[in-house]
Amino acid sequence: MSPDSYPDEAATLHLPAEELQALASRVFQHLGLSLPHAEAMARTVVAGQRDDCQSHGVYRILSCAQTIRAGKVALQVEPVLAPASGAVVRVDAGYGFSPLAFERALPALVETTRQHGIGALVIRHCFHFSALWPEVEAITAHGLAALALTPSHAWVAPAGGSRPVFGTNPIAFGWPRPSKHPFVFDFATSAIARGDLELHRRAGTPLPAGCGVDAQGRPSTDPVAVAQGAMLAFGGHKGSALSAMVELMAGALIGDWMSQESLAFDEGAGAIPCHGELVLAFDPARLGAGDLAAQQQQAERLFHAITGQGARLPSQRRFEARARSLQRGVAVPRALYAEILALAE
Ligand code: NDP
Ligand code: PYC
């Protein structure tokens, strides 16, 4: 869904991932973040850029900078991990950015999931700007399946309506595959992610049809008009219901804000959303009938039935981009690189 805004090789830099990581961390520290936050955030945005996820790659440094300027995010706060309670792991991000809270809680989530067969990680009070696939992928690296949900800001109208209620509310799922990249999907429940809408606005290109309505409720492909009106859920009433589920499960269920509350807290500052996240993990070795190899073979038959007819698995494009980035360096548009460098000055 990204606008094809970076096709020009002459306008693109290729940087080793380590160099981009060092730059992103330096910028975040210059903006006032503690070293652990800066490093965790840099890992997140560099992973997005490395995997050619333009709306959640290093472009996100600009929206994080805007969020910091808005003055609401805690820059030095240490996430507080509560003692494990049954299968539930809780971490309070203290109104800091989310990646450090996830990283700090991951070992406890893995341990509790191995113990109980299922684990729930509740992250509360975080500013959330990232894609969810890095999180579910990190969980699959431990041989566990994972599901992650989070609200955002109320930008999306329910099916049949024209006023924003839902966030762009992503859902990500990961399934571990021995000796292979995991099966991972991760998508907004809106027809287009807000990050991609912003990239269309920056590039001056229209949105695909069906992504939003203007302030009068008329269908529009103008990103500015849709930002003033409402985005639409993907798949009509089905995406709309999934989006409501995300609000409930990663908002009301965990006692944190939903997208309307996040937007109200923003008070027009244009900062990234502030709310919670729910991450569920499942241990196939504990939930199955005791033959893990058979379970894995069963899953592989499904994947083969997909790829065997020429269809691709989700994340295949991303993993191919990752391999290219590791070989040639991570592609970054020169103009974006200059904007990021300017933030370090
Ligand atoms: P896309 O529509 O680009 O991709 C959705 C998924 O479908 C990906 O896993 C993708 O894999 C896969 N896919 C795409 N095309 C095909 C195909 N032809 N066959 C099989 N699989 C396919 O994602 P979105 O634009 O909806 O979301 C982009 C990102 O935005 C997500 O990472 C999401 O987490 C993030 N986001 C974050 C929010 C937040 O609040 N933090 C809010 C909303 C979105 P591949 O990548 O390999 O193409
Ligand atoms: O792209 O919709 C989005 C988004 C919201 C918060 C972070 N990304």
Do residues 11 and 58 both lie within one domain? yes
Do residues 151 and 2 both lie within one domain? no
Pick the ligand that lies closest to the CA of residue 188.
1
Do residues 43 and 61 both lie within one domain? yes
Cβ of residue 155 lying under 6 Å from some atom of ligand 1: no
Element (H, E) at 316: helix 316-328
The CATH number of the domain holding residue 131 is 3.30.1370.60
291 is catalytic: no
**Is it the case that residue 7 has pLDDT exceeding 70?**
no
Do residues 120 and 22 both lie within one domain? no
Percent of all residues in the chain with a pLDDT value above 90, rounded to a whole number: 95
Looking at residue 84, what is its pLDDT?
Answer: 81
- 104-156 pLDDT per residue, tens: 999 999 999 999 999 999 999 999 999 999 999 999 999 999 999 999 999 99
Total structural domains in the chain? 2
Q: How far apart are CA 335 and CA 314, in angstroms?
A: 30
Do residues 181 and 158 both lie within one domain? yes
Number of C-beta neighbours around residue 311 at 10 A: 9
Nearest CA to ligand 1 atom 20: 314
Beta bridge partners of 161: none
**Is it the case that residue 72 has pLDDT exceeding 70?**
yes
Do residues 116 and 183 both lie within one domain? yes
Burial class (CB in 10 A: 0-12, 13-18, 19+), 40: buried
Q: How far apart are CA 226 and CA 205, in angstroms?
A: 13
Number of C-beta neighbours around residue 11 at 10 A: 12
Q: Look at residue 321 and tell me if it is in a domain.
A: no
Beta strand 212-213 with 230-232: parallel, antiparallel or unpaired? antiparallel
- Give CA separation, 195 vs 67, 85, 110, 292, in Å: 14, 36, 30, 39
Q: Which atom of ligand 1 is nearest to the CA of 150?
A: 40
**Mean pLDDT, rounded, for 78-101:** 96
Do residues 139 and 239 both lie within one domain? yes
Looking at residue 224, what is its pLDDT?
Answer: 98
Q: Which atom of ligand 1 is nearest to the CA of 190?
A: 26
Looking at residue 132, what is its pLDDT?
Answer: 98
The CATH number of the domain holding residue 11 is 1.10.1530.10
Do residues 118 and 243 both lie within one domain? yes
Looking at residue 4, what is its pLDDT?
Answer: 47
Do residues 185 and 276 both lie within one domain? yes
Burial class (CB in 10 A: 0-12, 13-18, 19+), 216: exposed
Looking at residue 10, what is its pLDDT?
Answer: 87
Q: Look at residue 162 and tell me if it is in a domain.
A: yes
Active-site annotation holder among 25, 55, 243, 262: 55
Q: Look at residue 102 and tell me if it is in a domain.
A: yes
Q: Which atom of ligand 2 is nearest to the CA of 196?
A: 1
Q: How far apart are CA 241 and CA 290, in angstroms?
A: 35
**Mean pLDDT, rounded, for 17-46:** 98
Looking at residue 345, what is its pLDDT?
Answer: 84
196 is catalytic: yes
**Going by C-beta distance under 8 Å and a sequence separation of 6 or more, which residues neighbour residue 239?**
159, 189, 190, 191, 233
Structural domain boundaries, residue 138: 77-190+233-314
Q: Look at residue 324 and tell me if it is in a domain.
A: no
92 is catalytic: no
Strands (E), the chain: 12-15, 80-81, 88-97, 118-127, 145-149, 156-157, 171-175, 183-187, 212-213, 230-232, 274-282, 330-333
- 176-207 pLDDT per residue, tens: 999 999 999 999 999 999 999 999 999 999 99
Q: Which DSSP string do the residues of 194-259 spell out, in sequence order?
A: HHHHHHHHHHT-PPPTTSEE-TTS-B---HHHHHHSEEEBTTTHHHHHHHHHHHIIIIITTT---H
Looking at residue 5, what is its pLDDT?
Answer: 47
For residue 172, give the nearest of 158, 156, 189 by alpha carbon.
189
For residue 132, give the nearest of 72, 56, 197 by alpha carbon.
56
Q: Look at residue 127 and tell me if it is in a domain.
A: yes
Active-site annotation holder among 196, 256, 266, 283: 196
- 229-266 pLDDT per residue, tens: 999 999 999 999 999 999 999 999 999 999 999 999 99
Mean of pLDDT over the chain: 96
Q: Look at residue 3 and tell me if it is in a domain.
A: yes
**In Å, how far from its chain's centre is CA 4?**
20
Q: Is 37 helix (H, G, I), strand (E, B) or coil?
A: helix
Tokens 């684990």 correspond to what residue? 119
Do residues 62 and 117 both lie within one domain? no
Looking at residue 2, what is its pLDDT?
Answer: 54
Q: Look at residue 157 and tell me if it is in a domain.
A: yes
Q: Look at residue 228 and tell me if it is in a domain.
A: no
Q: How far apart are CA 274 and CA 261, in angstroms?
A: 9
* Contact status, residue 254 vs residue 130, Cβ threshold 8 Å: no
- 158-178 pLDDT per residue, tens: 999 999 999 999 999 999 999
**Mean pLDDT, rounded, for 48-66:** 97
Lowest mean pLDDT across 14-18, 83-87, 111-115, 262-266: 83-87
Do residues 25 and 89 both lie within one domain? no
* Contact status, residue 18 vs residue 32, Cβ threshold 8 Å: no
**Is it the case that residue 312 has pLDDT exceeding 50?**
yes
Do residues 173 and 252 both lie within one domain? yes
Lowest mean pLDDT across 10-14, 295-299, 304-308: 10-14
Phi, psi dihedrals of residue 230, rounded to the nearest 5°: -150, 145
Tokens linked to 63: 């929206």
Cβ of residue 97 lying under 6 Å from some atom of ligand 1: no
**Is it the case that residue 8 has pLDDT exceeding 90?**
no
Looking at residue 3, what is its pLDDT?
Answer: 54
Q: How far apart are CA 10 and CA 342, in angstroms?
A: 21
